[in-house]
Amino acid sequence: MEQKVKISGTQLAMLLFIFVTSTLVIYVPAFTATEAKESAWLAASVLPFTFGYLTLWVIYKLGSNFPTQTIFQYGGIIVGRFLGKGLGIAYIIFLLVMDILVLREFSDFLAMTTLPLTPRLWVLFSIVGVATYGAYQGLEVIVRSVQFVFGIYLGGFATAILLGLSNFEFGRLLPIMEEGLMPIIRGSIVPSSWYGEIVILAILFPLINKPKEIKKNGLIALVAITVFVTVDVAVTIGVLGSKLTSSFAVPLWSMARSIELGEVVQRLESFLLIFWITGVVIKTTLLTYLICLGFNQVFGFKNRKVVLGGVAVFELFIGEFMLGNASQMHVILQKFWPPFGMVFELGIPAFLLAIIKLRKKNPKPKKSAG
């Protein structure tokens, strides 16, 4: 895997924005509205942003101690070679699980909306093929693609959300916090696990040309994500209401379908689909690249074609045969992914940082000569 490629601060902010929002923007309104109802926009913003910022802070502190290494590499320095190898394997599994879930979100979404008669395996095969090819081309191609599509991606979703204001009713967002704080806290768990996906910085850190600006650019991305998702959830509920939003699997799609401005603007969801597919392809391509990098740094596998081929076959098999139907996927995303993801996003990095801090406070005494 190439190590000479460097990512600029602007590229990093764009990459993180698309990486997090591409799946978050479609599914989070339903998950938050189920628990927080009319206050779902609060559940999608305050606590998830806090969790994302804590993840960013911890990863930045870790990376500052090992600026030329990824978490696959410095884990062994912190906890020892044997446990470090296990930690590297665990993070490869984490990335594989995330990628497989993204692939299934992609295929299930298309099956529910535009391709109900197409076998899921063919849909999975198409995106896995594109992601594998993109990962083989390397990080520079991925980052350049992000620069090219960012304006289109952001503009497309922003247009759909703004046009949704034509059917927006502020009263559907009331009352705020009718049942207190606990529903908002419960509703914030799922989006928090998606905000925490910026943990990929623990792998990208040595590939960024100005490491000291990572915290600033990561914060810019987090603020942009928070504003974007908060507006997305608020407008979706303002158009559909909290009950309908929580009942739809992909409420943003349903909201886009309701937009009609005379005979000029109709069927906007078809355009929304293009922008969403673009974001998901970038996300799964980057994940595939990071998985391949993990195999290289943990096991020393140098043959990128073999690793990418093996990963592609594994993900196709698990995605098609092991995850059940769309309803079961919904349960996985809502109940099982958040605790699993949060352990790797904040739990383990915070534990590693705590070990570093303790060692600095209690350095080993030097052995006296003689």
Residue among 366, 352, 358, 365 at smallest CA distance from 66: 352
Q: Is residue 1 part of a domain?
A: no
Token pair, residue 237, equals 């509920």
Q: Is residue 129 part of a domain?
A: yes
Whole-prediction pTM: 0.93
Give the single-character DSSP code of 199.
G
Helix (H, G, I), strand (E, B) or coil at 47: helix
Q: Is residue 290 part of a domain?
A: yes
**What percent of the chain has a predicted confidence (pLDDT) above 70?**
95
DSSP H or E run through 328: helix 326-331
Q: Is residue 245 part of a domain?
A: yes
Here the CATH number for the domain that contains residue 18 is 1.20.1740.10
pLDDT at site 148: 92
Q: Is residue 366 part of a domain?
A: no
Contacts of 211-216 spanning 24+ positions with Cβ under 8 A: 211/63, 211/64, 211/67, 213/9, 214/9, 214/12, 214/60, 214/63, 215/56, 215/57, 215/60, 216/9
Q: Is residue 370 part of a domain?
A: no
Q: Which residues contact 59 (CB under 8 A, 6 or more apart)?
A: 198, 199, 201, 202, 205, 349
Over residues 137-186, the pLDDT tens digits come to 999 999 999 999 999 898 888 888 888 888 889 899 988 888 889 999 99
Q: Which residues contact 292 (CB under 8 A, 6 or more apart)?
A: 1, 135, 304, 307, 308, 311
Q: Do 190 and 31 form a contact (C-beta atoms < 8 A)?
A: yes
pLDDT at site 370: 40
pLDDT at site 273: 83
Task: Please give the Cα distance from 14 to 290 (Å, whole number).
Answer: 17
Instruction: Write out the residue range of the structural domain in which residue 352 sits.
Output: 9-357
Q: Is residue 4 part of a domain?
A: no
Rg from Cα positions in the chain? 21
Considering its fold, how many domains does the chain have in total?
A: 1
For the chain, which residues score pLDDT lower than 50? 368-370
Q: Is residue 36 part of a domain?
A: yes
Q: Which residues contact 352 (CB under 8 A, 6 or more apart)?
A: 62, 71, 75, 78, 79
Q: Which residues contact 284 (CB under 8 A, 6 or more apart)?
A: 99, 102, 103, 106, 127, 128, 131
Q: Do 228 and 156 form a contact (C-beta atoms < 8 A)?
A: no
Q: Do 98 and 90 form a contact (C-beta atoms < 8 A)?
A: no
Q: Which residues contact 124 (CB under 8 A, 6 or more apart)?
A: 103, 104, 106, 107, 315, 316, 319, 320
pLDDT at site 130: 95
pLDDT at site 359: 86
pLDDT at site 369: 47
pLDDT at site 364: 63
Write down the residue that tokens 């990095």 correspond to: 349
Task: Please give the Cα distance from 2 to 131 (Å, whole number).
Answer: 17
Kindly write down the DSSP assignment for every residue of 248-274, as one continuous string: -SSHHHHHHHT--BTTTB--HHHHHHH
